[in-house]
């Protein structure tokens, strides 16, 4: 199959949990899935769980256009890892990183919304992978998962 049926929800936790449950049932083994999104405060959390679709259809220039007259530029990236073992309920591990939406794209690095997401004085697109990965939402979610593994397995 090309992927699992993704829930249409306003938050990432139920999407990651259901994705992990579905994949675990299909494969009969422990699985880990990730779902991530960009949540922009001035746009009521948009694009949120629809981030990949919006990035593909609108791209960064149109997201910046939506933010054109907004003074509140605060936003956060969120990543949720869903983990499920056969016969058990899925668990989720969440990581976030707070920042702001830039006024223009900056940087060639990363992917997706990285060139418009300001963390401190620079966008994720201006950071190298090593630097970004030290503070990213995915790293923070993985750290929480690793803490759980160390305590429970």
pLDDT for 3: 64
Residue 7 domain flag: no
Residue 21 domain flag: yes
**Over pLDDT 70: what percentage of the chain?**
95
pLDDT for 1: 41
Residue 146 domain flag: yes
Residue 1 domain flag: no
Radius of gyration, CA atoms only, the chain? 16
Q: What is the DSSP letter of 26?
A: H
Range of the domain at 142: 12-152
| 35, 41, 69, 129: the active-site residue | 35
pLDDT for 91: 98
pLDDT for 121: 94
How many separate domains does the chain show?
A: 1
Cα–Cα distance for residue pair 40/8, rounded to 1 Å = 18
**CATH code assigned at 144:** 3.90.950.10
In 3D space, the residue among 12, 133, 150 whose CA is nearest the CA of residue 81 turns out to be: 12
Residue 6 domain flag: no
Residue 101 domain flag: yes
Residue 61 domain flag: yes
Question: Which residue has tokens 């990581």?
Answer: 95
Residue 52 domain flag: yes
Write down the mean pLDDT value for the chain.
Answer: 93
Active-site annotation holds for 56: no
pLDDT exceeds cutoff 70 at 7: no
Task: Provide the whole-model pTM.
Answer: 0.90
What is the average per-residue pLDDT within 111-134? 93
């Amino acid at each position: 199959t090309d992927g699992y049926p993704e829930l249409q929800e306003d938050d990432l936790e139920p999407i990651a949990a259901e994705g992990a449950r579905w994949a675990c049932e299909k494969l009969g083994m422990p699985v880990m899935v990730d779902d991530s999104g960009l949540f922009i405060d001035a746009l009521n959390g948009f694009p949120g769980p629809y981030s990949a679709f919006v990035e593909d259809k609108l791209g960064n220039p149109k997201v910046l256009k939506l933010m054109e007259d907004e003074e509140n530029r605060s936003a956060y990236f969120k990543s949720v890892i869903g983990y499920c073992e056969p016969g058990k309920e899925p668990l989720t591990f969440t990581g976030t990183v707070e920042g702001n939406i830039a006024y223009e794209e900056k940087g060639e690095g990363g992917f997706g919304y990285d060139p418009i997401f300001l963390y401190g004085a620079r966008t994720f697109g201006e950071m190298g992978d090593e630097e970004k990965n030290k503070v990213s939402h995915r790293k923070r979610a993985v750290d929480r998962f690793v803490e759980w593994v160390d305590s429970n397995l």
